[in-house]
Each structure stands twice: as C-alpha cells, then as structure tokens.
Amino acid sequence: MTWAEFKLRLFAYNRIQENETLKLRRLSWITFIAPYQDPKKLRGMTEERWWKIGKKQQPIVSESHKQRFMLEYKKYLEKKEHGRA
C-alpha cells in the first residue's frame, strides 16, 4: 500500500468514525431531552453545545496581537525592501 492509498483510507476511516459519533450524539441527545415535553425550555442547551465533536473552533486572537503582528510585519517588509535596494 502506498502512502497516498494509506492517506485515503485514513481519511475515509476518520469520516466513518465521525459519522458514528454524530449518530451516538444524536441518540444520547434524544435520550437526554426525552423527559422534557418542550426542548426549548432547556434554555440555550443545544445538541452541539451539549457534546462538542471535532475541531470546529476557530483560534481566538486578540486585537492587540493582530496589531502587534501587523506592526512587525510592516517592519519586516521595510527591512526586506531596503536590503534589496
């Protein structure tokens, strides 16, 4: 088996596992809300919030970090431009 075949099989396996986990989450969510007549009364508790699956969170970067990065990037570009001239 080549590396490319292995990567394809790994991708398929991970996708199957994630689908199975999503099914399990759905089943457990239904079991969790079964005693309640109205799931809207759970006050903000959603299926995704109750059991998070996957890495769908975006990294949190503050504005100060962004500004600092842009400042350093501008300095880098200036040095690069003066180095070539």
> Which two tokens mark 55?
């890495």
Question: pTM here?
Answer: 0.54
Does residue 48 contact residue 29 with C-beta atoms inside 8 Å?
no
C-alpha to C-alpha distance for 76 and 82, rounded to whole angstroms: 10
Predicted confidence pLDDT, tens digits, the chain (85 residues)? 899 999 999 999 999 999 999 999 999 888 888 777 676 677 777 788 878 887 666 667 888 898 999 999 999 999 888 876 4
CA atoms within 13 Å, Cβ hemisphere of 54: 15
What are the structural domain ranges in the chain? 3-52+59-84
Question: How much is the pLDDT for 8?
Answer: 95
Say if CB 20 and CB 26 are below 8 A apart: no
52 Cβ contact list (under 8 Å, min separation 6): none
